[in-house]
Chains A and B, each alone.
Chain A
Amino acid sequence: MLRTGGAIVLLAAVAALVGPLVTPFDPSAQDLALRLAGPSTTHPFGLDELGRDILARVLAGARISFLVGLTVVSVSASVGTLLGAVAGYFGGVADDVISRVIDVLLAFPGLLLAIALVAVLGPSLGNVLFALTIIGWVGYARLVRGQVLRARELEYVQAARAAGARIPRILWRHVVPTAIPAVVVQATLGMAGAIIGEAALSFLGLGVQPPTPSWGTMLNGGRAHLLDAPHLTIFPGLAIALLVLGFNFLGDGLRDATDPKHT
């Protein structure tokens, strides 16, 4: 599972990095005479409603997906880890405030809040990143809070405290590292969540705007051509499903590898 997931993600990352450089077609170049043409040897994924090469757009879209995944996950994980560690270690008012905010944000089905935020802020890649981060940090904070609550009572942490270590050092060197394996698993699954989240928002017309080639935007464009050009829907969707499956495999594999019950 771990290897399969790793291989899929690695392959997708290489395709995102190298693909747009080696593909002979510009993802924005239009050939209106060939609009909606099906897959051929020249255009293996066919052309879209404006005669743009779908393979070139899928490869360019992979960059957007990785950009969204990496940005959302790194910011969410950093903010969530910091706030979760503060809530768990200090308790009291800090914990109460952070926990209540978490409770309220968790009271919304995740993507709904993202839809609401993007609906009022306006559709753009920046707002998608912001909305997905707002719903993303909560999971890390809750996870790290739980781990820190347990870790702060451990003897070596108490020893560090008794030896006069300062709180930031105790948190950074002794407490937070105990939560890292769980955060890594969550972050891997979070990549899948962020990629699906961006694609869903773009599919609804609330995310990345045309002509930028996002997989969700491409699927949205394909809706009008289900009858006459299903390839507009098939290839970008396949790309999302494969990459998300890769991250889910990787996350599940990492969880099994770091969970003592499975070793």
Chain B
Amino acid sequence: MTRFLVRRLLLTVPVLLGVATLVFSLIHLVPGDPVQSMLGESASPEDIAEMRGRLGLDRPLYAQYVSFLKGIGTGNLGTSLRTNQPVTAAIAERMPATFELALAAMLVATAVAIPLGIVAAVGAGTHVDHAATTLALLGISVPNFWLGPLLAIVFSVTLGWLPVSGRGTAAHLILPAITLGAPLAAVLARMTRASVIEELRELYVLAARARGVSRVRAVLKHAFRNSLIPIVTVLGLQFGAVLTGAVITETIFAWPGVGRLLIQSISFRDYPLVQGCILLIAVTYVAMNLLTDLVYGLLDPRIRFE
């Protein structure tokens, strides 16, 4: 296990370095002069020179790159151009809201998808299965930037049951969590269905039934338990989609998280903050994938020896 752990951790290092390099190069992709683009056409040459110095863009590229990497190591990602607040502080302020939303979305998704997937698997080929499969495909196809406003029209505008935006009470969390959780629920339901069907074909399930174990018990206690590994894996790997979805969901519901901060920073051309948000989301994604792999290795010894 230690060898697997070390190997997997070492494999992550070049990926993280690649992610950092790509995020670093973003600002250099800005067409023309990034500083001019940030300050606008009317900026004076003095202002441009001052800003260039502040961002370190007046130094050689390799020096900028080294200080960017050092900055990541020391948690110094520069300061926001708009608020002068350190980027790490601005992001840290918003992170709890994003994680709260992501966690709630994953809970919603799991609560809906697993029973749906099991029911579809048990009734594979029946109308129930077709209905569940179509529902899941619908969940993947309906974009969250449409589902969110639709939910708001029905539950906030028409029925007046839930607040339309903001954060504060549990009621504020419901619509954003459903909006963000729906596509994940769809993916998870499909995975659960496929995984449980696979397990139901195994001889041990037949043996359990032959021993007189009830159908429900055979499904839940035997087949479902064994199909949990791929389900947990998908849940972990989908975390990236949840984080990206959060960018859109937070924008729809004015949820004060990192995703909304990213979109606001883009509209203000606050590139240090844009870089910081992108880096944080990408690194969280890589860390989550790593964690999923490690848990997978822990649960299934075969993975460790591959």
Flag if B266 contacts A119 (CB, 8 Å).
yes
B240 at the interface (CB under 8 A from A): yes
| Minimal Cβ-Cβ distance residue in B for A251 | B137
Flag if B143 contacts A244 (CB, 8 Å).
yes
Contact among B19, B29, B251 for A107, CB-based, below 8 A: B19
Q: Using a CB-CB cutoff of 8 Å, which residues 104-151 of chain A contact chain B? A: 104, 107-113, 115-117, 119-122
How many residues of chain A have a CB within 8 Å of chain B?
A: 45
Q: How distant is the Cα of A252 from the Cα of B137 in the complex, in angstroms?
A: 9
Q: What's the dominant secondary structure at chain B's contact region? A: helix
A22 at the interface (CB under 8 A from B): no
Q: How distant is the Cα of A216 from the Cα of B248 in the complex, in angstroms?
A: 12
State the Cβ distance, B36 to closest chain A Cβ, in Å: 13
State the Cβ distance, A116 to closest chain B Cβ, in Å: 5
Q: What's the dominant secondary structure at chain A's contact region? A: helix
- On chain B, the residues within 8 Å of A240 by CB distance are 143, 146
| Minimal Cβ-Cβ distance residue in A for B14 | A100
- On chain B, the residues within 8 Å of A110 by CB distance are 244
- On chain A, the residues within 8 Å of B14 by CB distance are 100, 103
Q: Which of A38-46, A158-166, A227-235 contacts B (4 or more CB under 8 A)?
A: A227-235
Flag if A200 contacts B143 (CB, 8 Å).
yes
Flag if A244 contacts B141 (CB, 8 Å).
yes
| Minimal Cβ-Cβ distance residue in A for B153 | A230
- On chain A, the residues within 8 Å of B15 by CB distance are 103-104, 107
| Minimal Cβ-Cβ distance residue in B for A241 | B142
Q: Using a CB-CB cutoff of 8 Å, which residues 169-208 of chain A contact chain B? A: 192, 196, 199-200, 203-206
Flag if A120 contacts B143 (CB, 8 Å).
no
- On chain A, the residues within 8 Å of B23 by CB distance are 116
Flag if A219 contacts B146 (CB, 8 Å).
yes
Q: Using a CB-CB cutoff of 8 Å, which residues 256-276 of chain B contact chain A? A: 262-263, 266-267, 271, 274
A245 at the interface (CB under 8 A from B): yes
Flag if A204 contacts B137 (CB, 8 Å).
no
Flag if B145 contacts A216 (CB, 8 Å).
yes
Q: How distant is the Cα of A187 from the Cα of B29 in the complex, in angstroms?
A: 28
Q: How distant is the Cα of A117 from the Cα of B31 in the complex, in angstroms?
A: 11
- On chain A, the residues within 8 Å of B289 by CB distance are 107
B205 at the interface (CB under 8 A from A): no
A107 and B141 in contact (CB under 8 A), knowing A119-B274, A120-B271, A205-B267? Answer: no
Flag if B278 contacts A100 (CB, 8 Å).
no
Contact among B146, B241, B274 for A233, CB-based, below 8 A: B146
Q: List 17 A-B contacts (CB under 8 A).
A: A104-B18, A104-B19, A107-B282, A112-B278, A112-B281, A112-B282, A116-B278, A121-B30, A204-B248, A226-B164, A234-B153, A237-B145, A237-B146, A241-B141, A241-B142, A248-B137, A252-B137
- New contact pairs (6) apart from A120-B30, A236-B146, CB-CB < 8 Å: A103-B18, A104-B15, A104-B19, A119-B266, A237-B145, A245-B141
Which 8 residue pairs across A and B have the least CB separation, nearest first?
Answer: A237-B146, A104-B18, A109-B240, A245-B141, A109-B244, A119-B266, A244-B141, A203-B145
